[in-house]
Structure 1
Amino acid sequence: MTTFVGIASFKLAESCTTVREMEAVDESHCNPRAFHPRKRVNRKTKLQLLFDEKARREYLTGFHKRKLQRKKIAQEQLKQQLKEERKRLKQEARESFKKLVVSHRPVPELENLISENYELENHSVSITELSSSDLAEKNNWIGINKVQYENEKSEHSDEEEGPQKDELPGMELKTKKDVKKIIKKQATKQVQKSKAFKLKNKLERQKNKKESLRKKKKHIKTQSKTRKGRKKAKKRK
């Protein structure tokens, strides 16, 4: 009997423990916060808001001021872009004219190039083609009959009197000044097609339009004032 009672009491104790565990589990399911304590507050990531009356007033009354500042910065950037665009286009025009000068360099006469040399036992013979005009100039002959007009004479005399300075070889342009003028003209034409120049013209048109509207309103106000003054003067009379 004693053994049976002991075993029964042991089983009852085990059942009691299991029942307690089940109750604890049920309580944990019903109240999940019991096993999840609160997290610590991270004060480093928190923001502190301070009310500054001066900063608030400056922000609310400074819209126009900030707008003018942005406008000034944009104008300066536009001027810088135009300056760089002009510089780049001038450089491109100079390089194109340099290529043109190289392509139009004075070529030596073909008569000098077309010469055949034959070496013999005692001497060498060179055969070159000569024109009748060259022979006439060397031997003071009459040469080929040509009609010479007065204009051609005057042109030849002008060329002989004073050769122009700063001549560029192989070009139709005579002086460096003419080249600079054409480079400048070509650069300005290309600048006018650029986006920066178009934007500048657009801003100038808008500015002129605003100015004309302002003048028009002012003129209308002055006219209305003068009319009112005349009406008052008539009533007084």
Structure 2
Amino acid sequence: MRGKRQKNRATKTSLTFDEKARRDFLNGFHKRKVERKLKYKKKLEEQVKAELKKAKREAQEKYALARKSQRTVPEVAHLVEPIIEEKEDATVTITDLSGDPLSEQNVFIGPNKTLVDDSSEDEAEEKAGGLHGGLVCKSKKQMQKAVNKKITRILHKSKAMNKKKMEQTKKNIKKKKQREKLTKRK
């Protein structure tokens, strides 16, 4: 029987690890993952901001269009000027009721169609094709509320906002689970 041979240690190479380089290599995966997440969050925030700007612009355009539609046209202004008739026992003034002064004071004659619950108002807006149809006899404050409501409705339908909500929901669920774990440990 033969005995064990001795190892040839002179021609062998030994590997030594640089602990810092190893740590950087292994942590690089996590760093890149975190960078991707941050990049995605920034992109999502930019999309939400862009959609908000777009919604505001659209609502303001519709608001301006509605305000313009309430004004009387200069060519027809002489036709809608108030006519004053004096009778034996009273003075009668005939005016156009769609003018700004009356609508800003919320004075209406006939069926009051401006004070409607929100659900039917939304349906009326959708049928009329947006803000313009529902803003004929409203004050400036009411019109601004309608514009803000329209902006909110547009944002709730947007994809970027829905993604942001989903992320927030996931984050809240994760925090809730962590709190539950902590309470179970105690």
Structure 2 partner of 1:202: 166
Residues 1:67 and 2:14 are matched in the alignment:
no
Counterpart of 2:145 (choices 181, 186, 204) is: 181
Question: 2 CA distance for matches of 1:84 and 1:104?
Answer: 30
| 1:102-121 matched pairs, under 5 angstroms | 102-106=68-72, 113=79
Deviations 1:75-109 (A, max 9, x none): 11111111111011100011112222222222579
Per the TM alignment, residue 204 of structure 1 is displaced from its structure 2 partner at its CA by 0.6
Q: Does 1:142 align with 2:112?
A: no
Give me the identity figure in percent.
32
Aligned residue pair count = 128
Q: Which has the higher contact order (CA 8 A, sep 6+)?
A: 2
Alpha-carbon shift at residue 199 of structure 1 (Å): 0.1
Gaps of 5+ in 2: 1-16, 93-101, 106-134
2:178 paired residue number = 214
Cross-structure match for 1:23: none
- CA apart distance, 1:193: 0.6
Are residue 98 (structure 1) and residue 64 (structure 2) matched?
yes
Of 27, 48, 60, the match for 1:82: 48
Give the superposition deviation at 1:59: 2.2
Pair 191,213 (structure 1): closer, same or farther in 2 beyond 3 Å: same
The corresponding residue for 2:116 is: none
Cα distance change of structure 1 residues 141 and 59 upon mapping to structure 2, 3 Å threshold? farther
Select the structure of larger CA radius of gyration: 1
TM-score under structure 1 length normalisation: 0.45
Question: How far did residue 178 of structure 1 move?
Answer: 4.1
Higher helix proportion (structure 1 or 2): 1
Give unmatched runs, 5+ long, in structure 1: 1-51, 115-130, 146-155, 160-169, 223-237
Which 4+ stretches in 1 moved above 4 angstroms? 52-56, 107-114
TM-score by length of 2: 0.56
Per-residue deviation, 1:69: 2.0
Q: Give RMSD over aligned pairs.
A: 3.5
